[in-house]
Amino acid sequence: MKPSEFEYHAPTTIDDAVRLLGTLEDARVLAGGQSLMPMMNFRYLMTTHLIDLNGVDALTRIEERNGRLHIGAMARQRDIELSPLVTQRAPLIRDAYQLVSHKQIRNRGTLGGSLCQLDPSSEQPCFTAALDGVLTIARHEDGAVATRELPMSDWALMYMTPALEEGELLTGISLDIWPAGHGYAFEEFARRHGDYAIVGVAALCTADAHGRLDRVSLTVCGVAPGPVRMHEVETALRGRPMDEDALRIAGDAARELDVMTDAHVSTDYRQHLAGVLTERALKTAFSRVATKS
């Protein structure tokens, strides 16, 4: 099983990468390769040009800027997982990465690659949506690099199809930083450890000094082409105490989600999982909240 022939390009700057992508006919980018290479090995996917992004160091940065966490599209999943900055500012991410595949995959895989692959069951689009991610997309225009920003909520066009035009490159992701002491949890159900989630839930919350919920973020993956933010529930939970009623409200709403059916899992089962995992994730998030004084 070997890929079909292609021409290989190894740019070292964002400018070069974007220019190549914008000017070569039938070109694809190689990020971590953990999704792309299997498809190329199977010859599902064939391309004339392969643009290897692994030499573009500028795309690997993980930093805090203007109150948001900025992660370059080529940052290795393992680096993000182990980053002290990420653990401090967005502990949800480290929790989520414990469930993402295996170390060998995370050592090479990238956040940008996962977002572009956009598997419905993938944990990374899920936490990106939970953290109100904003994506930076670059393209080659008039001999220079032009960029646009897109909120994660607009990223999924349909199954495994992100809102990337031909010749565009995802360069970075910025994420909300929740205040210190916020509650967080990532729960998922998969048949084997490391598998894509059948259903996964990312929960974030803060509470006031009286233990009443202030801000809530609840995102479900594995039920639709893109991660589903449960905005109505988030609003409904504001001001409520972190109790069984809150869990029930969230769980019931999750069970009512419009979900997809596939060969592996029925609609009923997915809805059931969504309900149970939402309650579990919220419960854990509640337990982690350090109430403001």
Q: Contact with other proteins (CB under 8 A): which of 134, 259, 273, 277?
A: 259
> In whole angstroms, what is the distance from residue 108 CA to residue 28 CA?
18
> In whole angstroms, what is the distance from residue 267 CA to residue 13 CA?
45
**Residue 142 binds other proteins (CB under 8 A):** no
Q: Contact with other proteins (CB under 8 A): which of 20, 21, 36, 285?
A: 36
> In whole angstroms, what is the distance from residue 129 CA to residue 118 CA?
12
Q: Which is nearer to other proteins, 33 or 172 (CB)?
A: 33
Taking CB under 8 A as the binding criterion, the range among 83-91, 126-134, 153-161, 278-286 that sits at the site for other proteins is 153-161
Site string (203-222) toward other proteins, x via CB under 8 A: --------------------
| DSSP 8-state symbol, 10 | -
Question: Which residues, other chains included, contact 20 with Cβ-Cβ below 8 Å and sequence gap of 6+?
Answer: 9, 11, 27, 49, 51
Least distance from other proteins to the Cβ atom of residue 32, Å: 8
Q: Which is nearer to other proteins, 163 or 177 (CB)?
A: 163
How many of the chain's residues bind other proteins (CB under 8 A)?
67
- Closest to 189 in 3D by CA, of 216, 222, 166: 222
Q: Contact with other proteins (CB under 8 A): which of 2, 84, 143, 209?
A: 2
Q: Which is nearer to other proteins, 123 or 242 (CB)?
A: 123
Structure tokens at 181: 């002491």
Q: Contact with other proteins (CB under 8 A): which of 232, 243, 252, 268?
A: 232
Q: Could you give the residue ranges of the DSSP H alpha helices within the chain?
A: 14-23, 36-41, 77-82, 84-89, 91-97, 103-108, 111-117, 123-130, 231-237, 244-255, 267-288
Least distance from other proteins to the Cβ atom of residue 146, Å: 15
Taking CB under 8 A as the binding criterion, the range among 38-46, 57-65, 87-95, 275-283 that sits at the site for other proteins is 38-46
Residue 235 CB burial class (10 angstroms; 0-12, 13-18, ≥19): exposed
Residue recorded with tokens 């084997």: 192
**Residue 34 binds other proteins (CB under 8 A):** yes
**Residue 99 binds other proteins (CB under 8 A):** no
> In whole angstroms, what is the distance from residue 188 CA to residue 95 CA?
11
> In whole angstroms, what is the distance from residue 39 CA to residue 50 CA?
13
Q: Which is nearer to other proteins, 120 or 183 (CB)?
A: 120
| Cβ atoms of residues 172 and 70 within 8 Å | yes
Residues 156-195 that bind other proteins (CB under 8 A): 156-161, 163, 165-167, 192-194
Q: Contact with other proteins (CB under 8 A): which of 39, 144, 146, 290?
A: 39
Instruction: Name the site residues for other proteins (rule: CB under 8 A).
Output: 1-8, 10, 30, 33-46, 50, 52, 54, 78, 101-105, 107-108, 117-120, 154, 156-161, 163, 165-167, 192-194, 224-226, 228-229, 232, 256, 258-263, 267
